[in-house]
């Protein structure tokens, strides 16, 4: 799915917004005391209130266009924003529109 369609979904936009300030939007992780690699899927799912498979599908699509970066830590996959891609997209939109 292309980036403009990914950002046409409110939940996916919300996820990106939440990931700007994980401390404000999610409880602290157990094994890791910082959000350097982002937030685990389960927390994002709880916050979004959608099913596990739906959130996983969303994150996969976002990762495909590099809006987010996944990092595996044991059982968990943490997702964080890819600021470069986000900024680049916004600049491109600014210019073309």
Partner DNA sequence: TTGATATATCTAGAATACTAGATATGTTTT
Partner DNA sequence: AAAACATATCTAGTATTCTAGATATATCAA
Using the rule CB under 8 A, which residue among 28, 46, 90, 92 binds its own copies?
Answer: 90
Site string for its own copies, 24-63 (x = CB under 8 A): ----------------------------------------
Closest CB 29 distance from DNA, rounded Å: 9
- Please give the C-alpha separations between residue 85 and each of 6, 73, 82, in angstroms, as whole numbers: 13, 23, 6
Q: How far apart are CA 1 and CA 42, in angstroms?
A: 23
- Please give the C-alpha separations between residue 22 and each of 31, 41, 59, 71, 75, in angstroms, as whole numbers: 16, 13, 16, 15, 20
Stretch that binds its own copies, among 6-14, 28-36, 46-54, 56-64 (CB under 8 A): 6-14
Q: Which residue number, 41 or 85, has a Cβ lying nearer to DNA?
A: 41
Strands (E), the chain: 39-40, 68-73, 76-81
Q: Which residue number, 74 or 95, has a Cβ lying nearer to DNA?
A: 74
């Amino acid at each position: 799915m292309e980036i403009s369609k990914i950002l046409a979904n409110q939940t996916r936009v919300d996820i990106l917004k939440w990931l700007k300030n994980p401390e404000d939007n999610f409880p602290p992780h157990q094994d890791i005391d910082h959000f350097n690699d982002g937030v685990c899927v389960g927390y994002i799912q709880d916050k979004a209130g959608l099913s596990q498979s739906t959130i996983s599908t969303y994150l996969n699509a976002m990762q495909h266009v590099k809006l987010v970066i996944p990092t595996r830590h044991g059982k968990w996959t943490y997702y964080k924003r890819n600021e470069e891609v986000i900024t680049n997209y916004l600049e491109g939109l600014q210019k073309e529109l």
